[in-house]
Structure 1
Amino acid sequence: MDTLAIVILNYNGQSFLAKFLPTVLANAEGYPVYVADSASTDGSVAFVRTHFSAVRLIELPRNEGYAGGYNMALEHIQTHYGGATYYVLPNSDIEVTPGWLDPVMKLLDANPQIAACQPKILSYAERELFEHAGAAGGYVDWLGYVFCRGRVFATFESDQGQYNDNQEIFWATGACLFIRAELFHRVGGFDASFFAHMEEIDLCWRLKRLGYEIWACGQSTVYHVGGGTLHKSNPHKTYLNYRNSLFMLYKNWPADGWLWGKFLLRLILDGVSSLLFLKVGQWRDVLAIIRAHFSFYGRLPHLHRQRKALLKQQKAEVPLYPHSIVWDYFIKGKKTFEAIVETSEK
C-alpha cells in the first residue's frame, strides 16, 4: 500500500495535462501519480500514454462527473494497486508548488481526527488573489450558503499571509482535496448523484457528523485556473450549483425543527437571485434555477431516505455559521471573511 496516491480526474483536458502534469510529476516526492480518464474524446489517453510513461493511467468506461468519476477511480486504485493511506485529488487545472505535499501530510499524520484537508488555493491568472473554489478553507452559514476564508461571494482577498496558519474549517475544496482513504471508502465516497459541484462539501459534512475534523493547511499553496471542465458562465453550472445545494442541505441540515422554514427562505432567496440573472439578460440561468428546483422536488423521496440514514449514524453536532452571509455581505457591507467573523463574535 502506498502512503499517498495523487489522483487527477480528466475529461477532455489534454491541454491542462500538457501544461500542469509535468509540475505535478516533478513535485510528487516519489508518490505515484494517477490520471483517471472519464472517456475523453480529445486524445487525452493516447497523449498521457505517449508522453508520461511514469503516470498510472486509469481508463474509466464513461463520464460520471467529478463525483462518480473519482468514486470509480479510487475504487480501482484500492482494488488493483493495493490502495493508499491518503488520496490527494488535484484538478487537472491545478499548478502545484515545490513542497506542497509535506506540510499537509505532517498535519494529517499528527492528528488522526483530521479526515480531510486542503492547501491554500490561489488564482492562476491573478496569483496574489485567492481563488473562488475553496480559497483558504470553506464554511456554511445557517441558510446553507457557502463562503471561504479569502473569498466571500465575488470578493477575493489578496494573499498577505493572513491565512498561513493551520485551521479547522467546515469543508475542504475538491479542487485539491487531501483525504484519508479508509474514511473515504467507509462513508461511501462522494454522492454520485451530484455529478459535479458541492459533492466535496456534502462529503465533509458527513465526515464531521461522524466526529471527524476538516482542516486547511496554510503552509501549502497551489494555483487554480478554475472552470477547466465547465465554465462559470455555463447555465449547466448554475443548474448543478443550485440543485446540489438543495440536495446537500436536505440531507445534512440539523434536525432542529427549522428544516422547512429554512427551505422556504432559501426558495425566496433563490427567486431573488433569478431576478438578478433576468435583469442582466441571463434568462438561460433563470431556466437553470427552475430546473434545479424541480429536480430537487423529484428526488425528495430518495433524499429523505438518505437523511434518515445519516441522522441514525450521526455522532457529533455540526455547528454552522450562525448568521446569514447574504445579510452580512449585501446589507451590512461585510465583504471579507475577517469582517464577517468579527460580526459573529460581537
Structure 2
Amino acid sequence: MTPRVSVIIVTWNGRELLERFLPSVLATDYPDLEVVVADNASSDGTAEWLGAEHPEVVVARHPDNWLFARGNNAALEDATGSLVCFLNNDVEVPPNWLRPLVAALEDDAVAAVQPKLLQVDDRSRFEYAGAAGGFLDALAVPFTRGRIFEALEVDRGQYDDARDVFWATGAAMLVRRDAFEDAGGFDESFGMHQEEIDLCWRLWRAGWRVRVEPASEVYHLGGASLPAGNPRKTYYNVRNSLVMVAKNLPPTHAARIFRGRRVLDGVAWARARAMGNALEADAIRRGRRDAAVMISALEVDLEGSAVVLPSYRGRIVEDAMLRGRRHFSDLPTSRFRPLGL
C-alpha cells in the first residue's frame, strides 16, 4: 500500500517564491500526495492567492510569524499523511523526486531521509543547506558532503551513494510522522536554524537512523529566509548549536565541547571586530549570552537514551582553514566514528 505523503511548506511573505516553485511540487509523480502550505501571517496575499489559484492546496493559516520550527509543527494538525516532507518554499522538484525517498523509509529502522540538494541556477553544483547529507564535528559545527563552509563542490557523482548521515536538511526532509511526533517535533525555542540537526540527533538517540538518498535530487535557491552573512542568521546558529549540545549530551561530554566552542567563538568574534563587522561580532556575543540563559532553564532527562556523539572526531575549522581540506572527500575517514555511537 502506498503511504500518503503530506508535503508541508512554511512561508512568510513568500508569494513570489510560491508562484515560482509550488507548481513543480504539485506536478510530483506520486499517487497519494497532499500539499500543505503553512502561512505565517503573510501580508502579501499568499493565502488569498493560494485559494484562488491552487484550491487543491491545504492552507494552514497561522496568526503570527511562527518561523520554521513552530510553523511546521503547527501545520501537522492540517496534514493527514503518515509520512511528512518538510520542504522549503524555494525548492524546485522534478516529477520523480519523492518515490526514492519513500522507498528509503521502507526500511523500518529509518526515520528520516533527505534528497541530494543542488543549486537551482547551477545544477552542476551542490547547494549550501544540505548538499548530500550532514555531519557534526567534535565541536558540534555542522558540515555536509559537498559543502564545507563556503566551498560548494561540483557534483560529479562523488556522493551518489545512499548512506546514513548524522543529520538531514530541513530544506527537504521526509520523515515518519510517528517518529517525528514521538521525538517531540522541532524544538520551537530554536525558531529557525539547526532545528533539524537537533531533531535528527534526538532520532539517533531514540534508536532510529537518518539517511540521504541521492537517487532523489531537488534544486534549492537558498537564502530566502536569511541570506548568508546576515547577523540574525549568525545569532541563531551560535545560540541554537550550543543549546543543542546541552540537550543531547551528558554534562561531562557537553562541557568539553563548550570549552572548545568558547575559544572558537572567541576567535570568530575577534575576527569580525578586526574586519569592522560590528553587527556580526555582536550577533556572536548575543548568541552565546542567550544560549547560556536557555541552557540554564533546560530540564533535560537523558535517562534511558543512547549517548550519540558528534560523528566527526576532527575540527572542521582547523581542517578547512589550516589544512586546506575543503572537500568532504579530503577528510580522513579514520576521524569518523560509526553513526549512532
Would you call these one fold, judging by a TM-score over 0.5?
yes
Q: What residue is the counterpart of 2:122 in the other structure?
A: 126
Say how many residue pairs are matched. Answer: 334
Q: With structure 1 as the length reference, what TM-score do the two structures score?
A: 0.92
Q: Percent identity of the aligned residues?
A: 39
CA deviations over 1:280-315 (Å, ceiling 9, x no partner): 322111111111111012122222x12xx1x11414
CA contact (8 A) 2:29 2:95 kept: no
Q: What residue is the counterpart of 1:68 in the other structure?
A: 70
Provide the C-alpha distance between the structure 1 equivalents of 2:118 and 2:250, rounded to a whole number of angstroms. 32
Q: What residue is the counterpart of 1:101 in the other structure?
A: 98
CA contact (8 A) 1:210 1:316 kept: no
> Which amino acid in the other structure matches residue 210 of structure 1?
A
* 1:182 and 2:170 are equivalent in the alignment: no
Alignment of 1:67-216 (within 5 A): 67-77=69-79, 83-109=80-106, 111-216=107-212
Q: What secondary structure is seen at the aligned counterpart in 1 of 2:297?
A: helix
CA deviations over 1:42-99 (Å, ceiling 9, x no partner): 111111111111111111122111001111011332xxxxx32110111000011121
Q: What residue is the counterpart of 1:339 in the other structure?
A: 330
- Structure 1 unaligned segments of length 5 or more: list them: 78-82
Q: What residue is the counterpart of 1:283 in the other structure?
A: 278
CA deviations over 1:255-294 (Å, ceiling 9, x no partner): 5x34323212101111111222223322111111111111
Structure with more of its chain in helix, by fraction = 1
- Structure 2 unaligned segments of length 5 or more: list them: 337-341
Q: What residue is the counterpart of 2:214 in the other structure?
A: 218
Offset of residue 319 of structure 1:
5.2
> Which amino acid in the other structure matches residue 76 of structure 1?
D
CA contact (8 A) 2:118 2:124 kept: yes
Offset of residue 316 of structure 1:
5.7
CA deviations over 1:163-188 (Å, ceiling 9, x no partner): 11211000000000110001111111
CA contact (8 A) 1:210 1:314 kept: yes
CA contact (8 A) 1:68 1:195 kept: yes
Alignment of 1:301-312 (within 5 A): 301-303=296-298, 305-306=299-300, 309=301, 311-312=302-303
Provide the C-alpha distance between the structure 2 equivalents of 1:223 and 1:341, rounded to a whole number of angstroms. 29
Alignment of 1:10-29 (within 5 A): 10-27=11-28, 29=30
Q: What residue is the counterpart of 2:316 in the other structure?
A: 325
Provide the C-alpha distance between the structure 2 equivalents of 1:156 and 1:227, rounded to a whole number of angstroms. 15
CA contact (8 A) 2:136 2:310 kept: no
CA contact (8 A) 1:208 1:318 kept: no
Counterpart pick for 1:39 among 32, 38, 41: 41
Q: What secondary structure is seen at the aligned counterpart in 2 of 1:222?
A: strand
Runs of 4+ in 1 over 6 A off after TM superposition: none
Offset of residue 10 of structure 1:
0.9
CA contact (8 A) 1:211 1:316 kept: no
> Which amino acid in the other structure matches residue 118 of structure 1?
Q
